[in-house]
Amino acid sequence: MKKSMKAAIIMGLIAVVAVGAVIVRQYQTEAVFAGAEKTAAQKAQLELEQKRENLLEKADHLYRGYYYDEAIALLKSDPAMVATATGGATAPTATDDAITVKLAEIEKAKASLVKYEGPVQHIFFHSLIVYPELAFDGRGHPAQGYNMWMATVSEFKKMLPSLEAKGYVLYPLADYIEQDPGNPGKIKLKDIYLPPGKIPLVLSVDDVNYYDYMKPDGFANRLVMGSDGRVWTEVITPEGQVTQTRDGDVMPILDDYVEAHPEFSWRGTKGTLALTGYQGALGYRITDNLPQEAEWQQTVKTIADAMKANGWSFACHSYTHNGYFRDGSLTMKQIKYDTDRWIKKIMPYIGETNIYVSPFGVHFKKDDPKYRYIIDQGFQIYCPVDNSRRITVNSDNIVMPRVNIDGYSMTKRAAELQKYYFDVPAVLDPARPEL
Ligand SMILES: [Zn+2]
């Protein structure tokens, strides 16, 4: 082929391509203009529908978590949403659009709440066993103790759907009482209203201190503030790797469960953490005059604030957890020292509380001066351990017993736990040695 011919063909091809390109571009431009007109309306409609769906979804999440007024307010926050739902001017009176239907459903649910009259349900745990192979290996703290008084992560996770299916709804401990308006300084029980069939449940966790003795035995190391603003568990793996997890203790597990199952929690309620003080709080040694103390105190405060904003509350579990609470030798001087020290060393960082969770679940007589000392420091809700499931009201304080959920109760009181809470054999961790 001659050079000139080759050039001509190439030129020709270029011309065809160029013309073609112009035609295509023109066609595309027209299509874009036509499409733009069409999609402007379509897009607006689509956006509106998307917005409405998001609104309904958000409102439904609130509603499922018993935030009735908040869900109603949200649905009513943009009247245009309702108007366009059935397409225009006639719509505001429509009764069949999704938002109107949802509003009616929520109003009906809110009006159907009933006063709870059944037994008082307060269950408690200790920090969960993350690695049963370490807790039950016979090294470190005796395995028998963990086997009796602790539950494992896998057990706790299995209990939650069962508790929910039985109708339990996490309820705030502080909301069991209110000040008696007719009697200054006195308190009375506060009525609890829930949907028919629901049972208020208080959940507490004892000794959220991450004591030294537990460090080699497969528990979380401490609580930490995640970069996402949530509280995580710091867990050291058996291989020695430091990790942040969502299932190293009751707290993140329950947070995530309630996020996915808002109906298990009255208005975002989680539980109450009972803290001692002799080895700090939440895994931080804030009571030993260590060089990092100020920094750790701030960390504890940051974590506690985040948790309180997220449905958790805190309680005093004594400062020393000393054996004199259990053997009955406790003196007036000791209870004063213990209570005062907790108020001075722990309360500034976790915030004021009127809840006292007794060490060893100890009971006092209501007129015992040592008991009166605790009450007079502002602790109006006193929680010992027994399974009577009844509150005693003592004019300026209540006694609310708690039921331990652990290897001991799951083994020795299986029928009781089976009746009230969950299928024990299905929950019990096979990693447990025989008790
Ligand atoms: Zn304890």
Q: Please name which of 381, 288, 383, 296 lies closest in space to residue 341, comparing C-alpha atoms.
A: 288
Report the separation in Å between the CA atom of 149 and the middle of ligand 1, taken as the mean of its atom positions.
10
What gap in Å lies between CA 196 and CA 199, rounded to an integer?
9
Which pTM was predicted?
0.88
Report the separation in Å between the CA atom of 130 and the middle of ligand 1, taken as the mean of its atom positions.
19
Report the separation in Å between the CA atom of 360 and the middle of ligand 1, taken as the mean of its atom positions.
6
Tokens describing residue 276: 């001692």
Report the separation in Å between the CA atom of 321 and the middle of ligand 1, taken as the mean of its atom positions.
7
Report the separation in Å between the CA atom of 273 and the middle of ligand 1, taken as the mean of its atom positions.
11
Report the separation in Å between the CA atom of 122 and the middle of ligand 1, taken as the mean of its atom positions.
16
Tokens describing residue 137: 């290996």
52-59 CB contacts, 8 Å cutoff, 24+ apart: 52/81, 52/84, 52/85, 52/98, 52/99, 55/81, 55/99, 56/98, 56/99, 56/102, 59/102, 59/106
Report the separation in Å between the CA atom of 126 and the middle of ligand 1, taken as the mean of its atom positions.
8
Report the separation in Å between the CA atom of 39 and the middle of ligand 1, taken as the mean of its atom positions.
64
Summarize the confidence of residues 300-308 as an average pLDDT: 98
Q: Which of 111, 136, 162 is the last residue of a domain?
A: 111
Report the separation in Å between the CA atom of 211 and the middle of ligand 1, taken as the mean of its atom positions.
11
Q: Report yes or no on 120 lying in a domain.
A: yes
How would you classify the pairing of strands 168-170 and 199-206? Answer: parallel
Q: Is 192 helix (H, G, I), strand (E, B) or coil?
A: coil
Same domain? For 267 and 144 the reply is yes
Q: Report yes or no on 432 lying in a domain.
A: no
Report the separation in Å between the CA atom of 330 and the middle of ligand 1, taken as the mean of its atom positions.
16
pLDDT, position 94:
54
DSSP track, 143-166: HHHHHHH--BHHHHHHHHHHHHHT
Report the separation in Å between the CA atom of 125 and the middle of ligand 1, taken as the mean of its atom positions.
10
Asked if residue 332 lies in contact with residue 373, where contact means CB atoms within 8 angstroms, the answer is yes
Report the separation in Å between the CA atom of 421 and the middle of ligand 1, taken as the mean of its atom positions.
22
Q: Is 338 helix (H, G, I), strand (E, B) or coil?
A: helix
Same domain? For 80 and 56 the reply is yes
Burial class (CB in 10 A: 0-12, 13-18, 19+), 334: middle
Asked if residue 87 lies in contact with residue 94, where contact means CB atoms within 8 angstroms, the answer is no
DSSP track, 79-114: HHHHHHHTTSTTGGG-S-SHHHHHHHHHHHHHHT-E
Same domain? For 163 and 126 the reply is yes
Report the separation in Å between the CA atom of 359 and the middle of ligand 1, taken as the mean of its atom positions.
5
The confidence band for 1, taking pLDDT boundaries of 50, 70 and 90, is very low
Instruction: Judge whether residue 248 has pLDDT over 90.
Output: yes
Q: Which of 90, 111, 132 is the last residue of a domain?
A: 111
Tens of pLDDT along 98-133?
A: 999 999 999 999 999 999 999 999 999 999 999 999
Q: Which amino acid is at 371?
A: Y
Same domain? For 31 and 131 the reply is no
Q: Where are the alpha helices (DSSP H) in 170-292?
A: 250-260
Q: Report yes or no on 435 lying in a domain.
A: no
Same domain? For 305 and 177 the reply is yes
Tens of pLDDT along 139-197?
A: 889 999 999 999 999 999 999 999 999 999 999 999 999 999 999 989 999 999 999 99
Domain range spanning residue 34? 3-111
pLDDT, position 186:
96
Same domain? For 63 and 131 the reply is no
The CATH number assigned to the domain holding 236 equals 3.20.20.370
Same domain? For 106 and 165 the reply is no
What gap in Å lies between CA 421 and CA 123, rounded to an integer?
10
CB atoms near residue 352 (< 10 Å): 9
φ, ψ dihedrals at 158, nearest 5°: -75, -30
Q: Report yes or no on 433 lying in a domain.
A: no
* Residue 243: strand pairing partners: 235
Summarize the confidence of residues 408-428 as an average pLDDT: 98
Same domain? For 287 and 177 the reply is yes
Tens of pLDDT along 4-30?
A: 555 555 555 554 444 444 444 545 544
Q: Report yes or no on 237 lying in a domain.
A: yes
- How far is the CA of 357 from the CAs of 9, 84, 224, 304, 370, in angstroms? 94, 54, 24, 18, 15
Same domain? For 104 and 153 the reply is no
Instruction: Judge whether residue 229 has pLDDT over 90.
Output: yes
Report the separation in Å between the CA atom of 20 and the middle of ligand 1, taken as the mean of its atom positions.
83
In the chain, the number of structural domains is 2
Same domain? For 106 and 129 the reply is no
Q: Which of 111, 127, 145 is the last residue of a domain?
A: 111
Q: Report yes or no on 271 lying in a domain.
A: yes
Report the separation in Å between the CA atom of 205 and the middle of ligand 1, taken as the mean of its atom positions.
9
Q: Report yes or no on 434 lying in a domain.
A: no
DSSP track, 309-337: TTT-EEEE--SS--GGGTSS---HHHHHH
Tens of pLDDT along 359-376?
A: 999 999 999 999 999 999
Report the separation in Å between the CA atom of 165 and the middle of ligand 1, taken as the mean of its atom positions.
29
Q: 């209110």: which residue's tokens?
A: 178
Same domain? For 280 and 419 the reply is yes
Same domain? For 185 and 81 the reply is no
Report the separation in Å between the CA atom of 123 and the middle of ligand 1, taken as the mean of its atom positions.
14
Q: Report yes or no on 230 lying in a domain.
A: yes
